[in-house]
Amino acid sequence: MPNTVVVTREEAIAVVQLNRPDVLNALNEELMKELVAVLSALDDDDAIRCIVLTGNERAFAAGADIKETFIAATPVTMLKQDLTANWEAIRRVRTPIIAAVSGYALGGGCELAMACDIIVASETAQFGQPEINLGIIPGAGGTQRLTRTVGKFVANELILTGRRVKADEAKAIGLVAQVYPAASWLDEAKALARTIAEKPPVAVRLATEAIDLAWNATLDAGLEFERKAFYLLFATEDKKEGVDAFVGKRKAIFKGR
Ligand code: DAK
């Protein structure tokens, strides 16, 4: 049983809650390891079609655990620890992950949300990359993912000042897909997950892979992948089911085949 994350399965969706509330879900090594183990296990489970990653009302995560990770760290200890391995493992998860953010998503917390496929937020959410105030810079993808998301000029302003942005601004700059009322943010995130869980899983997977490629590849390579993925889906039972259901004016039931 993990100590620092709580997993709840609700039919085809799973909710993974970061659970170090006393330190605003600061990401220490134990939490990162447990998070990777939990996400990888859910990813291997065909019954789970969408994951909601969340914290609590006060914090999604306030970043790396500064006390545990940074006080005694040297370049060599950090290199040996290979902190990046956990983040790479999260990136390899193919089941779509919705980051449902309430309260603080700072530093590594913001980077963790950006490692997910969709970010939704409570109106109380605050995002930021405050590393500059510690004499460092984002190290888990922030300079790259935030810049690809909001562009160079907004990214520089946020990363060089450490300024926090509230939910509405985060939505306006494209970091957040939806802002929900504080009373219902998690229910809304779960409803979104259920909607995605009803879609054809192979198409969902190929769509997220293609969208990720838009960050990584040239336009030609991305278009080529999209085209092949599009053709491939014509071999699935779910494509036949989706088209048959449309023609028959009924709801499609997708099986991931
Ligand atoms: N680490 C450890 N403890 C933390 C913490 C953190 N990041 N954030 C909060 N806490 C603890 C506080 O120390 C406090 O503990 P006690 O004093 O009660 O023992 C408790 O949580 C409650 O926090 P506050 O008392 O400070 O609460 P406030 O409401 O006054 O303030 C705050 C909330 C979020 C504004 C404030 O706590 C804060 O500024 N926290 C630090 C935020 C921050 O600077 N985050 C960025 C850290 S750097 C990498 C992977 C990851 C990273 C880098 C590389 N690789 C793969 C290479 C990530 C780096 C970072 O995230």
Domains of the chain in start order, with CATH, are 5-197 (3.90.226.10), 201-247 (1.10.12)
Distances from the Cα of 169 to the Cα of 56, 161, 194, angstroms: 21, 16, 26
For ligand 1, atom 8: residue with the closest CA: 62
Q: What is the pLDDT of residues 38-68, one digit of tens each?
A: 999 999 999 999 999 999 999 999 999 999 9
Task: Verify whether residue 34 is a known catalytic residue.
Answer: no
d(CA 186, CA 188): 5
Please give the number of the atom of ligand 1 that sits closest to the Cα of 65: 1
Sheet architecture: strand order including 126-128: 59-61, 104-106, 126-128, 165-166
The one catalytic residue among 14, 62, 64, 105: 64
pTM for the structure as a whole? 0.97
Please give the number of the atom of ligand 1 that sits closest to the Cα of 129: 46
Contact 142, 63 (CB under 8 A): no
> For the residues 212-241, what does the mean pLDDT come to?
97
Q: What is the pLDDT of residues 191-213, one digit of tens each?
A: 999 999 999 999 999 999 999 99
